[in-house]
Amino acid sequence: MAHNFTWENDGVYWRFNGVLTTPDLIIANSELIGHKSFDSIKYIIWDATEIDTANVDEIAVEISTTFAVTVNPYNPFVKVALLARDKHLRDLIEQYIDLTLEQVPHAQQKLFENISDARAWVSS
pLDDT at 2: 85
Residues of the chain with pLDDT under 70: 1
Share of the chain above pLDDT 70, in %: 99
The number of folded domains in the chain is: 1
Residue 78's CATH number = 3.30.750.24
Yes or no: say if 15 and 50 are a contact pair by the CB < 8 Å rule: yes
Yes or no: say if 16 and 50 are a contact pair by the CB < 8 Å rule: yes
Residue 30: half-sphere exposure toward Cβ, Cα within 13 Å: 7
Radius of gyration of the chain (CA): 13
Question: pTM for the full model?
Answer: 0.94
Residue 78 makes CB contacts below 8 A (sequence gap 6+) with: 11, 41, 42, 43, 44, 108
